[in-house]
Structures are given as structure tokens and as C-alpha cells.
């Protein structure tokens, strides 16, 4: 289980030649259990990416702690990262290499002990990469690239998935590939944290959601529980009811 306790992240922004400090993530506590899809929902700029980057170990918290099966990243960075997979709209793939080379490189980075080729074949079959496995990534379509991105994530058989706006900007078919993959991994008892600003999407696949706004958790629970509590029919309305008509640019 990944346990996030009172996590804060402070940044400095410059407006009108004045430096101003603000919390992108402010006192957030979350639990990610195996076999569950945890949704982090909120508008753009709510702090979702910062939170997930901290969970993924690529950004350091200002205060608070993250425990990965009771271990901290400070002392066990490599071991913890080996158990995780991070997929985001910001994590792009290397264009000059082929999916095969990318997957092999990934296995090497993760110190995968078994036969590389056998594992690549398994994943290639699962995600239907065979027809373009040896083509350069720069020559693949968006959907094919997305499948390669997913393959990169699951090739080392991680325990936890951190998925940040993974379907953002994708067409309906490419999005479905990701959503199917998430559901399949849940069945394999993997812990999944999934951030999105598509409320309907989250409603369909998440077991538990955290609504986040201005870096703070404003509501949490199962999608059904949140809807019942706010007396709404969907999470989008729930969100707006909780924030009380606050305007967004």
C-alpha cells in the first residue's frame, strides 16, 4: 500500500515582478491499495500532476511523507521505483528508437531478471504491437504510440501504476486502450492511482475518488457515495456543488 500523509508542495511564482509562494499541493493524505483504482479528480491546475510526480518519486515534497509499503523514497529510491510505473501525458517516448528497443531498454533499466525477448513478445501480443515492433516510434500513429507507452509501463510487471491524465488529448479508441489496460491491471491486484479532469471517465472506472481543488482535497469517497452526499447525478455536478459556484478560467 502507498500511504500519503499530509503532503505539501510549495512553489514560487513570479507575477508583476513579485515573487509569491503558493502550495500546489496542500496537506493531502491518500491511500492507494492493491486491487483498487484511486481517482484524483480536479480541473487543470488543481495540483494533480504535482501530486502524482511526488508519488512517482520525480519531485520531492516540501513536507509530509509518502510510504511505499512502509518504506520512504529517500532511503529506497531504486527499489521503490522498480515497483512503480508512471504514465503521463508529459512522459513522451524516444522517437529515434523502435518499440522493441524501448521495451528492451526499459527492462534493462528495471534490472529485469528473466528473458527479455520472451517478455517483449508477451507484451507485444497482449497490446498488438507485432506489426510495428521494429519500426521507429516517430513513424507510428498516435494510437500505436499510446499502446507502446502502455507497454513501457507494464513490461516490468509493476505493483503500482501512477497514471496522470493518461487519456488526455487522445481519440476515443486510444483512450479505450488505456482504460481497458487499467481495468485488466486491477484484476491482477495492482494498485492504480489515476488522475484526470474527465469526471465521467473516472466515474466509470474508479473505486474511490479524491476531488482536488487548489491543491487541497475537497471531497473523497466512492463515486456513488460522493454523488449521494452532494445529491447530484454525476461527479461533475458534485464538484461544482462542493466548490460553491467558484468560477474557472
Where do contacts with another protein occur on this chain (CB under 8 A)? 56-60, 77-79, 81-82, 84-86, 88, 90-97, 101, 105-106, 108-111, 152
Q: At what angle do helices 172-187 and 142-154 cross, to 10 degrees?
A: 20
The CB-of-208 to another protein minimum distance in angstroms stands at: 24
In the DSSP assignment, the letter for residue 130 is G
Q: What span, in angstroms and rounded, lies between the C-alpha atoms of 68 and 156?
A: 18
Is 77 or 171 the residue whose CB approaches another protein more closely?
77
Is 56 or 99 the residue whose CB approaches another protein more closely?
56
Distance of CA 214 to the CA centre of its chain: 19
Is 46 or 87 the residue whose CB approaches another protein more closely?
87
Is 77 or 228 the residue whose CB approaches another protein more closely?
77
Q: Residues near 238 by Cβ (< 8 Å), separated by ≥ 6?
A: 211, 219, 226, 227, 229, 230, 232
The CB-of-81 to another protein minimum distance in angstroms stands at: 4
The CB-of-147 to another protein minimum distance in angstroms stands at: 16
The CB-of-182 to another protein minimum distance in angstroms stands at: 17
Closest Cα partner for 214 from 87, 62, 50, 90? 50
Is 50 or 230 the residue whose CB approaches another protein more closely?
50
The CB-of-96 to another protein minimum distance in angstroms stands at: 4
Question: Which position has the grid cell 491511500?
Answer: 31
The side-by-side arrangement of strands in the sheet containing 160-164 is 84-88, 160-164, 191-196, 37-41, 208-213, 216-221
Amino acid at each position: 500500500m502507498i500511504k500519503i500523509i499530509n503532503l505539501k508542495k510549495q512553489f514560487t511564482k513570479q507575477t508583476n515582478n513579485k515573487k509569491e509562494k503558493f502550495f500546489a499541493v496542500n496537506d493531502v493524505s491518500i491511500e492507494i491499495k492493491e486491487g483498487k483504482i484511486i481517482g484524483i479528480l480536479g480541473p487543470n491546475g488543481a495540483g494533480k500532476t504535482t501530486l502524482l510526480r511526488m508519488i512517482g518519486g520525480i519531485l520531492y515534497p516540501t513536507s509530509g511523507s509518502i510510504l511505499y509499503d512502509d518504506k520512504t523514497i529517500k532511503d529506497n529510491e531504486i527499489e521503490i521505483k522498480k515497483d512503480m510505473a508512471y504514465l503521463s501525458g508529459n512522459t513522451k517516448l524516444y522517437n529515434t528508437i523502435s518499440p522493441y528497443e524501448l521495451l528492451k531498454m526499459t527492462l534493462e533499466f528495471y534490472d529485469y531478471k528473466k528473458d527479455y525477448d520472451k517478455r517483449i513478445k508477451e507484451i507485444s501480443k497482449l497490446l498488438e504491437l507485432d506489426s510495428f515492433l521494429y519500426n521507429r516510434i516517430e513513424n507510428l500513429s498516435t494510437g500505436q504510440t499510446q499502446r507502446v507507452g502502455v507497454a513501457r509501463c507494464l513490461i516490468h510487471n509493476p505493483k503500482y501504476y501512477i497514471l496522470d491524465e493518461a487519456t488526455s488529448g487522445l481519440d476515443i479508441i486510444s483512450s479505450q486502450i488505456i482504460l481497458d489496460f487499467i481495468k485488466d491491471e486491477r484484476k491482477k491486484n495492482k494498485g492504480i492511482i489515476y488522475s484526470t479532469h474527465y469526471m465521467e471517465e473516472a466515474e466509470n472506472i474508479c473505486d474511490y475518488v479524491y476531488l482536488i481543488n487548489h491543491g487541497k482535497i475537497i471531497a473523497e469517497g466512492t463515486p456513488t457515495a460522493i454523488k449521494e452526499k452532494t445529491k447530484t447525478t454525476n461527479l461533475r455536478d458534485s464538484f461544482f456543488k462542493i466548490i460553491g459556484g467558484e468560477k474557472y478560467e
